[in-house]
Structure 1
């Protein structure tokens, strides 16, 4: 497997929408892999189905150096896709394999100002629990 240093996780329902465009523009001169969460079946915690694809994505994260999460502001919060994804990572038996990796998030929307601070706080806390390095890129969006 070729190591991709940067993974961009698009947590929007739109594969090629604003979240995708913003992430791609930010990373325009870098090699990265984009993962669109809408393309995967990722079930809630404690739902065990044979077609769950969380492991596929988690494997890729384990082999990246920098993970960038992009989410639109939905109802003054991160998307449901990102929420479930973060919960699943947090409950993963391999959480320690993310230690030392960089983690960033950007939030956008028509008026995301009341969403940016609480979502960023959650992601910063998550990065601390996972022993990851939080890299603030929000000001670039």
Structure 2
């Protein structure tokens, strides 16, 4: 356990807040989960990431992708919206998963958490998507 803790302390951690609220419950939970560890946070609400096959010059997917590629551990935090992950996270996953040339997650640790007043019915479908995403994007 101590060896594992030392390993985590040296990791570059990126927390992706997929909530519409930059400093809401999802952000708070991500920081609480990581306690005193140094982390970088992306609030997806701050980026224009267009849907698959939409090509606009102000698309910022590349900026988010660059940050993903520079990290060791990616933590995805999403509120439960309509019994699913947020649209922000779904769009990011779709964009990463649609490019067969990307190996964005190769060798990276991936974690996810879902928060909401009752996210129990959201856990199974989101876990299924995240598992498939990890297989495709590695």
**TM-score for the superposition, normalised by structure 2:** 0.88
Moved over 4 A (4+): none
Q: Which residue of 2 aligns with 1:84?
A: 91
Task: Name the residue aligned to 1:23.
Answer: 30
Matching residue within 10, 32, 42 for 1:35: 42
C-alpha RMSD over aligned residues: 1.2
C-alpha separation in 2, matches of 1:83 and 1:38: 13
What's the secondary structure of 1:49's corresponding residue? coil
Q: Give TM-score scaled by structure 1 length.
A: 0.87
Aligned with 1:95 (options 73, 96, 102): 102
**Cα pair 2:96 2:137 within 8 Å, conserved:** no
Distance 2:70 2:42 in 1: 14
Aligned residues: 128
Q: What is the rounded CA distance, in whole Å, between the counterparts of 1:105 and 1:19 in structure 2?
A: 11
Report the structure number with the largest CA radius of gyration: 2
Q: CA deviation at 1:27?
A: 1.1
Deviations 1:79-116 (A, max 9, x none): 00000010011123552142111111100100000001
